[in-house]
Amino acid sequence: MRKIDWYILKKLLVTFFFCMILFTVIAVAVDSSEKTDDFVSTGLGTWDIIRKYYFGFVPFIWGLLFPLFVFIAVIFFTSRMAARSEIIAILASGTSYNRILRPYLIGGIFLAFLLWIGNTYLIPRANLIKDNFRTDYLDKNDPMKNQRYGRCFNCFYLRIDTNTYIGLKTWDSASKSANTFFLERIKNDQVVYNVRANSIKWDTAVKKWKLYNATIRTVDSMGETVRYYADTIFNMSLKPEELRKDEYLKDKLTTPELAAFIKREEARGTEGLSAMKVEKHRRTATPATVLLLTIIGVVIASRKTRGGSGMHLALGIIIAALFIIADRFSTVFATKSNFPPVLAAWLPNIVFSVVAYWMYRRTPK
């Protein structure tokens, strides 16, 4: 790499981190002003709120606006270079336009890798901090949140494999027990195995479930067999940590955990996993967006115009807004219809790759 490469790369990284810090301060100020009453109602001190909420909120904002930060940074400093005729001077020295793009591509790949690492491991852990705070301190006082699952908040009806269904009533995650339990196994549209128990509890010693006052019925070609147990160890493919109703779950899981969750639920025949699948593919597609927006930003801002940086920023904001709208539409289509999740995550990148190529071909070189 030559001096001009280090010069452009340094400008890109410095401007990017400046934009990120600036927008983070603004986001925290706006968010804290909106949640002042909620923070006061928790009874927590300033440091506790920072530690339990903003340590998760700030990385969430970084992950959400990371591509936009890169886009604005590229447009801003490249436009200033064009206004000072630096781009023209570089081209006049015999350097090709494609050669000028090299430090931008290196910087874009580096920032895309940072975002990929963040999306895969770091941001889900930050979301865990932020969403746990919302669940423990904000949502518990919201009657609409508490009633979203119906009259019985701690009741579960699950499909644990392709032909087995279970139900639990008044599940207590602290004691890992429930007051009522039933299990039904279906074969050829008929119940062939049925379990009823007054209570169920997870036995930490043997890592299995224990039923109390259980009645087990087995139906086969020989007839029906009924057995009663005051207490018995019962084995089934369900762990206590899987019994949770969490609308923020997909944001809390790291990518390997999310992939394992999707695979397990698909094996059980669970429906409504489109949002999970879109999230998994989005974590890979968003870093690719960083590289794509880097190229679009260079193509827009490297041309010297009468409007200067303001014109470039205005055009960049329009393109970014169109990209976000396309991303939201594809996500909604995937979660609410039969649109393939992988295509929903990658469709905006595919469309704007064509736009980037068209703009690149029309750029004066």
Please report the DSSP string for 120-148 in residue order.
Answer: IIIHHHHHHHHHHHIIIIIGGG-HHHHTT
Separation of alpha carbons 272 and 202, rounded Å: 28
Tokens 């770091």 appear where? 122
CB 287 within 8 A of CB 115: yes
Question: Which range has the worst mean pLDDT, 143-152, 224-233, 264-273, 340-349?
Answer: 143-152
Nearest to 269 by CA among 157, 158, 149: 158
| pLDDT (average), residues 277-306 | 89
**pLDDT of 148 above 50:** no
pLDDT at 309: 66
Separation of alpha carbons 209 and 328, rounded Å: 43
Residue 338 CA neighbour count, 13 Å, CB half: 0
Higher per-residue pLDDT: 148 or 160: 160
Indicate the SS3 state at residue 316: helix
**pLDDT of 361 above 60:** yes
Separation of alpha carbons 265 and 54, rounded Å: 32
Percent of the chain with pLDDT over 90: 49
Please report the DSSP string for 72-89 in residue order.
Answer: HHHHHHHHHHHHTTHHHH
| pLDDT (average), residues 193-222 | 92
Token pair listed for 6: 């280090």
Token pair listed for 22: 């600036």
pLDDT at 84: 87
**pLDDT band for position 140 (cuts 50, 70, 90):** low
Question: Which range has the worst mean pLDDT, 115-119, 149-153, 245-249?
Answer: 149-153
Separation of alpha carbons 187 and 140, rounded Å: 41
pLDDT at 290: 93
**pLDDT of 342 above 80:** yes
Separation of alpha carbons 276 and 63, rounded Å: 17
Nearest to 78 by CA among 338, 302, 365, 334: 302
Nearest to 140 by CA among 125, 127, 153: 153
**pLDDT band for position 14 (cuts 50, 70, 90):** very high
Separation of alpha carbons 313 and 320, rounded Å: 10
Nearest to 210 by CA among 231, 237, 196, 227: 231
pLDDT at 145: 54
Question: Which range has the worst mean pLDDT, 145-159, 187-201, 300-314, 339-353?
Answer: 145-159
Question: Which range has the worst mean pLDDT, 101-110, 235-244, 284-293?
Answer: 235-244
| pLDDT (average), residues 166-189 | 91
Separation of alpha carbons 235 and 122, rounded Å: 35
**pLDDT of 238 above 50:** yes
Q: Which amino acid is at 265?
A: E
Nearest to 78 by CA among 251, 295, 359, 357: 295
**pLDDT of 174 above 90:** no
Nearest to 183 by CA among 140, 259, 237: 237
Domain ranges, ordered by start, for the chain: 3-141+272-362, 156-244
**pLDDT band for position 147 (cuts 50, 70, 90):** very low
Average pLDDT along the chain: 87
Q: Give the predicted TM-score (pTM) of the model.
A: 0.83
3-state helix, strand, coil in the chain (%, to 5): 65, 15, 20
**pLDDT of 143 above 60:** no
**pLDDT band for position 149 (cuts 50, 70, 90):** very low
Q: In this predicted model, what pLDDT tens digit does every residue of 41-58 receive, in sequence order? A: 888 899 999 999 999 999
| pLDDT (average), residues 128-153 | 69
Q: How far apart are the first and last CA of the chain?
A: 21
| pLDDT (average), residues 278-297 | 92
CA distances from 188 to 163, 184, 222, 236 (A): 10, 13, 17, 21
